Each structure stands twice: as structure tokens, then as C-alpha cells.
Structure 1
Amino acid sequence: MPELSQSPFDLLVQIERKCRVAAPGLPAQEEERKQWNGVFFRLRGFDLVVPLEQIVEIVDMPAIATMPGVKPWVIGLANMRGSLLPICDLGRFVFEDDVAAQGRLLVVRLAGFPVGLRVDAVYGMRHFWVDQQAESLPDLPVLLQRYVTSAYHDQDKVWSVFDVHALLSNEAFRDAAA
């Protein structure tokens, strides 16, 4: 029973002390791990990931109308839901080769307009923890290195990150006229 001579403030201090002794501690605060998400695709035998935020959509190869007077890596135009979509063969542009294949399209935006990049295959999403970022880039052909800006390691594999912005800012890519 509290003494009558104690002030209300003293009573509150006494109650607080009892509560601190009886209360369990706060749970340990865990550090939140940030995740990096990308789309896993294959280009000329190389496994690459592209940041998810750089992709508008992934589609199968549509019917394509060829265009005269363009560089060989420009495949043509497709009608995607009523809009014209220029389609470029990413492997042919990067590696300057003549390998033709079906593949799938990674749709990206160039100056606000969609552009389809044909790649050999798209396998789906890859998730990495930000702390899995590799300190060095894997050995890649010089023609591909200019578009790989970082990498992530997962188990015994290093995943090269293909930067669409590096591709789209390349003047050679922007100059599609033959």
C-alpha cells in the first residue's frame, strides 16, 4: 500500500521501476537485407541478368515486317497492341555476328518509346541480396563488357548484369540507318 506522504510523481516513478524490472526486453532488431531483382536471359551462350526496372515487358517473337535501309541488327517492326515496336537483334548488335535465331523479346524504353531486344532465351526472375554484389566483373568478350556494369555471385556462379541504359546511350545503337 503506498504511503500517503508520497507525491503522485513519486508513485509514478515507483510504478515505472517495477514495470522495467518485470518487462521482457525488446526483441533484437535485425538488419533488413535489401534485395536486387533482375530478369535472367541468355545471349550467345552467356547467362546475363538485366535489372527488373529496366524491362517494360517480356514477349514471344511477334510477326515482323522488315524495313529497308536499316542496319543488319534491326530486324524490323511489329504491331504490339496497335503500336509499332521496332525490334533489334541484341546478339547481332553486340557481337557483330550473323547468327539468326528465334528467341524472345525484352521490351525496353528508348526516349519514352518501346523497343524490342531479341535475346536467345528468357528464363525468368533472379533475386540476389545486395550484399551478394561481386567486387569484380567476370571475364567476358570485350564487345559484351561495355554493357556489363556489375555482377552478383550466388553459390559458385557469377551473374553479369547487363545495363540497358548503357546500350541505349550508345550512339551506334541509336544510329540504325544503313
Structure 2
Amino acid sequence: MRTPFDILSDYERRSLAHAVQLPARELGQETWRGVGYRIGRQRLVSQFGEVVEIMPMPPVTPVPGAQPWLLGIGNLRGNLFPVVDLKLFLEGERTVLHEGQRVLVMRQQGGDVALTIDELYGQRSFGEEQAIDPEPLARGRYASFVERAFHSEGLDWAVFSLSRLARTPEFRQAAA
């Protein structure tokens, strides 16, 4: 008489015999993955670990006395969080809000923050051979947040550090 353990062991042995192997990964070939989006004319990517959620623009309640780039307070499943016009913060130009507007939600000390973006491109992957000099993409206010860049399919992508943004004193002090 076979025990339940013997039956499960037999199932495992048979299933492993029919398992399809994943393609072997070449040693030394690292892939960087993140979320791609656009602010103004700048194509940016941020690490998956820095983006908590991507969601439609929530209704926003303005906050009197706040910086112009702080659009107000939004509500996500009962949690209140600031909604920031990232383009206004970085470039001094207001984001044109539209139907279907998306925001990236990032985590910072004290709670989540929603950042408006102009366009969402979704997942992007880059190999180390696609790395380029980030300096041409790290101009103006972007210089504080861009350390890496990649070139893929004819387009340059700056790696934008949301965690560095969250630690910036100016960003943390939204009172006017």
C-alpha cells in the first residue's frame, strides 16, 4: 500500500520529467528592468522596486499654502497621499491633465506619493551593452536624479531615481 507521501513523490518525479527548461542565461549578461514613462520630452525609467503602483489620476483636494507643484491630496482605498505635478517640479511647466491620466505611486518616509507623468510606456528592459553616458540626459533639475542611461531602439532612456527624489529636502517641504 502506497502512502500519500509516496503518491506525491511519484507525481513530482513525473512532472519534473516533463518540465520545460528555461533558456540558459549567459554568465555576465545583466539585465536592468524598470517602468518606462515620459515627463515633457524626457524618456525616463525607474526601478520596479521604487514604483508601488500605477493608477489613474485620483480626484484631488487642493491644499492651501502649498507649493504650486503639489496639486493636492488624493485618496486611494482610504489612504490619503499627496499628488505632485512632477513636470512642474522638475521643469517649471505644468502637466496638461487629460482623461486617462496616470500617476506613479512611490513610497517615501511617512507614506506614499503620487507623481503625474505625461505618458506611460510600461516595462522596459536593458542590457549592460545598451548603457550610455547619462550626462546629456541629466540636464537641469534632472542632474540630481539621473546617474545611468540606456539607448534602445533608437531612443535614449534616463534612469530616474524616485528614492533620491523622495529624500530631496525641497521635495519633502511642500509648504510655500
> Is this a same-fold pair by TM over 0.5?
yes
Return 5+ residue gaps in structure 1 as ranges: 1-28
On the 8 A contact 1:69/1:177 being kept in 2, the answer is: yes
Alignment correspondent of 2:172? 174
Over aligned residue pairs, what C-alpha RMSD do you find? 2.1
Q: CA deviation at 1:166?
A: 2.0
Alpha-carbon separation, structure 1, partners of 2:134 and 2:103: 29
Within the candidate set 85, 95, 99, 2:81 is matched to: 85
> Within 1, Cα distance between the matches of 2:152 and 2:172?
34
1:134 paired residue number? 132
Contact 1:106 1:119 in 2 (8 A): yes
Q: Deviations over 1:137-170 (max 9, x none)?
A: 3345312222211101224332111111221111
Residue equivalent to 1:35: 31
Letter in 1 for 2:155: K
What's the TM-score once normalised by structure 1's chain length? Answer: 0.76
Secondary structure of the 2:87 match is helix
1:64 matched residue in structure 2: 60
Between the aligned partners of 2:139 and 2:128, the Cα distance in structure 1 is 25
Q: How does 1:3-152 map to 2 (within 5 A)?
A: 30-31=26-27, 33-102=29-98, 103-152=101-150
With normalisation by structure 2, the TM-score equals 0.77
Distance change in 2, residues 1:66/1:37 (3 Å): same
Name stretches of at least 5 consecutive residues in structure 2 with no aligned partner.
1-24
Residue 156 of structure 2 aligns with an amino acid whose one-letter code is V
Distance in 1 of aligned mates of 2:148 and 2:26: 27
Within a 5 Å distance, the mapping from 1:148-167 to structure 2 comes to 148-167=146-165
Q: Deviations over 1:59-112 (max 9, x none)?
A: 010111111111100011111011102110100011122444233111001115
Amino acid at match of 2:157: W
Aligned residues with identical type, % of pairs: 34
Query: What displacement does 1:40 show?
Result: 0.7
Shift of 1:173: 0.5
Q: Classify 1:30/1:61 alpha carbon distance in 2 versus 1 (closer, same or farther; 3 Å).
A: closer
